Every structure is written in structure tokens, then in C-alpha cells.
């Protein structure tokens, strides 16, 4: 059945990969706006395809960086960070620069560089899996880290500069 569907898709005229035939028999390209409207309809929220790419990039980066738990210097840590971003870029089909800037939450990168990422992921995975059963363990861990960061940022007198919290006066 899948082969038949793929064959029909390939037989549609034009360069677009995703297209459909509307009720009037016309071939229509699937645009990003169509995808975003669909996502908003099925989630009941204002999610976009970029949100899903950002989530995927963030989880992929956290998972890749977890493999480099120990490092001897900041230079080695930065080398590992580059390797993880290369992995994310390959998986998302984008450049390293775009992935790092747009698709990986800075908390993951900062936590890796300060040496706390693996410990936070382990701790949060255990906590969050009790409450979030519909996520994979790696996703639950990342979700827990991000939620903890939001709570910390919401405290009066604490603000973030360059991804790090400082006390306001």
C-alpha cells in the first residue's frame, strides 16, 4: 500500500515533493502554511513546523552531548560541541550554523560547557518520566531541564544575560 501511495505521489506533475489532488481534481502543492495550519488544528495550539524542528534539534543535541560526558578542557568541550552540532545538522538536513543558532536551545549548550548537562539529564529523566509518559526518556529529560530553567527565570530578581542567570538588584 505504501509503495502504491509513493508511486502516485511520484506521478504527480511538477518539482514539488509534497502535493495533493483537491476535490476539483487540481494538483496543489503543500506549502509550509498548510503544514502549520494542520499542526495548529491537531494540537489545538499555535505550534509550527519550526517548533518541531527546534524540539528535535534540541533533543538530538542533548543526546549527542551526553556521549561526551567527560572532557579535560574547554577546548575539548568545544570540539565535542561542534561534533554534536554536526550530528544535528546532518539529521535535520541543515547547516551547522543554522542548527546551532535556530534549532538547539542554548540551555543545552551552556549546560554541556559548564559540565552539568549529563547530571541534569539523568536527574530530570527520572523525575519527568513519572509525570510525562508520552515522551521518550531523552525527551522527558530535556523537557524537565527546560521547565526548570523557565521556573528559575520566572523568580523575581533573576534575569538571564547570555544564557546565564544573574541576580538583579
Long-range Cβ pairs for the range 69-76 (8 Å, 24+): 69/118, 71/115, 74/113
Burial class (CB in 10 A: 0-12, 13-18, 19+), 61: buried
Q: What is the mean pLDDT of residues 4-10?
A: 68
Report the distance separating Cα 142 and Cα 62, nearest Å.
Answer: 7
What residue has cell string 488544528? Answer: 41
Contacts of 59 (CB under 8 A, 6+ apart): 138, 139, 142
Q: What are phi and psi of 116, to 5 degrees?
A: -100, -5
Grid cell listed for 61: 543535541
Domain ranges of the chain: 2-43, 50-156
> 106-162: per-residue pLDDT in tens?
999 999 999 888 888 877 776 666 666 678 888 888 888 888 887 776 665 544 444
| CATH number of the 50-156 domain | 1.10.132.120
pTM: 0.71
Compare 38 and 130 and report the one with higher pLDDT: 38
**Predicted local distance difference test score (pLDDT) of residue 119:** 83
Q: What is the mean pLDDT of residues 81-106?
A: 95
**Predicted local distance difference test score (pLDDT) of residue 129:** 64
Which DSSP category does 30 fall into? P
**Predicted local distance difference test score (pLDDT) of residue 17:** 62
Report the distance separating Cα 150 and Cα 161, nearest Å.
Answer: 14
> 79-89: per-residue pLDDT in tens?
999 999 999 99
Amino acid at each position: 500500500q505504501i509503495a502504491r501511495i509513493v508511486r502516485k505521489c511520484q506521478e504527480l506533475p511538477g518539482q514539488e515533493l509534497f502535493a495533493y489532488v483537491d476535490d476539483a481534481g487540481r494538483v496543489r502543492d503543500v506549502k509550509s502554511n498548510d503544514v502549520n495550519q494542520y499542526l495548529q488544528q491537531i494540537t489545538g495550539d499555535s505550534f509550527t513546523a519550526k517548533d518541531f524542528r527546534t524540539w528535535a534539534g534540541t533533543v538530538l543535541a542533548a543526546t549527542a552531548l551526553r556521549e561526551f560526558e567527560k572532557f579535560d578542557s574547554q577546548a575539548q568541550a568545544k570540539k565535542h560541541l561542534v561534533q554534536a552540532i554536526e550530528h544535528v545538522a546532518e539529521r535535520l538536513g541543515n547547516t551547522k550554523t543554522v542548527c546551532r543558532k535556530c534549532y538547539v536551545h542554548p540551555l543545552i549548550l551552556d549546560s554541556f560547557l559548564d559540565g552539568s548537562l549529563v547530571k541534569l539529564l539523568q536527574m530530570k529523566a527520572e523525575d519527568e518520566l513519572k509525570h510525562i509518559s508520552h515522551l521518550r526518556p531523552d525527551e522527558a529529560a530535556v523537557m524537565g531541564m527546560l521547565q526548570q530553567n523557565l521556573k528559575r527565570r520566572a523568580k523575581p530578581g533573576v534575569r538571564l544575560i547570555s544564557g546565564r542567570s544573574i541576580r538583579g538588584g
